[in-house]
Amino acid sequence: MSSPSPPPSGPKTVFLLGPGYIGHPILHHLSTQSYTITTLIRRQSHFESLSCLPNVTPILGDLSNSSLITTHASRASITIHTADANHTSSILAVLAGLRERVARGERAVYIHTSGSTLMKATQETSERIYTDTLAPSQLSDIPSSWPRRANDLLIVNAAAEFGEKAKIAIMIPPVIYGVDDSSQRLTMDFPKVARFALMNGFSAYLGEGEAIESAVHISDLARAYVILLRAMEEEDSSVDVLQNPYFYPEDGIEWSWKQAAGEIGDAMKDAGVIEEGGARSVGEGDVDAMFGKGFGRHLSLGCRMRGERLRGLGWECREKGVFEAWREDELSRVLREMGRKVE
């Protein structure tokens, strides 16, 4: 995994919430450069592995520890939130910490992670394409009751309050896929469909499966955070996060859930773990029965995105495509997790 070029000289302090699937590779990038990082972890089992990274200090706690989060967000010049985008109190705690920094006249940079759930269409097909250069106007008609939108608006309103005294951005990834070398962790979507296939003998999609998705490899996504951070750190940066805080990291390749389920089924048949390739259409209840209420609906909704702003900063996608990464990196890990051998 190649790293972006080093940041400007001088000490930088980072507070990172959520060193998991998204946060860990970001942490890995920053730890090898001129950043001093504190990261919030929930599990003692992760303490030693993160402590071994250079310039990283893990602290035990969870997202409900508002006072702890506020304290560290107030101390750090940079805060990055890659944990639960639906966790309102942790976002408010970060903003409280930024407010303290602003009151002291200290610089503050904050990158928040939202998600394309807030853009998901209510029908199975969507012609609308979301472009980050048009984000403020395109997102303005999304109700605040929509998933994640209310929390994003808390951040947008705080940015307006702070003005030029703080730089705040909202990263909105689409479907994230792949395995990053630094953590070896799996994403949610394709592995869940694969587990369904292992238990039922066939891969599946919901309804017509025509919803179109955008996606990004986890390693490309991690580099996007670092590149955006560098731009936000520059005093004379051309990136206007006050008027438009939104950034869409996507790899430029679209696909449908029917296509994805078929690719998953074919790969699993080729691996000798199911007999039927391709995929079948199933009802929402069939999927929800396996994975909990709501996941079936997730497989019927799509979001088409265009990320022009990050590319304008020099970001580019270098990693494998979504189906190549599934066959070469993710499938074998899912099968080992399920105690299955690959032929």
pLDDT at 235: 81
The tokens for 273 are 């773990």
Is the per-residue pLDDT at 8 higher than 70?
no
Share of the chain above pLDDT 70, in %: 90
The per-residue pLDDT for range 164-184, each reduced to its tens digit, is 999 999 999 999 999 988 888
User: Would you state the torsion angle of the CA atoms of residues 142, 146, 151, 157, taken in this order, to the nearest 10 degrees?
Assistant: 30
Which H or E element spans position 65? none
Which H or E element spans position 112? strand 109-113
User: Would you state the torsion angle of the CA atoms of residues 131, 132, 138, 144, taken in this order, to the nearest 10 degrees?
Assistant: 130
The tokens for 304 are 């088409």
The per-residue pLDDT for range 193-242, each reduced to its tens digit, is 999 899 999 999 888 888 899 999 999 999 999 999 999 999 877 899 99
CA distance 209 to 34: 46
The identity of residue 180, as a single letter, is: D
Q: Is the dihedral of CA 24, 108, 115, 63 positive or negative?
A: positive
In terms of C-beta density within 10 A (0-12 exposed, 13-18 middle, 19 or more buried), how is residue 94 classed?
A: buried
Report the chain's mean pLDDT, rounded to a whole number. 90
pTM reported for the whole predicted model? 0.93
Is the per-residue pLDDT at 244 higher than 50?
yes
pLDDT at 324: 97
Is the per-residue pLDDT at 5 higher than 80?
no
Which tops the pLDDT comparison, 82 or 140? Answer: 82
**Domains in the chain, ordered, with CATH?**
12-175+215-247 (3.40.50.720), 179-214+252-333 (3.90.25)
The identity of residue 335, as a single letter, is: L
Is the per-residue pLDDT at 191 higher than 80?
yes
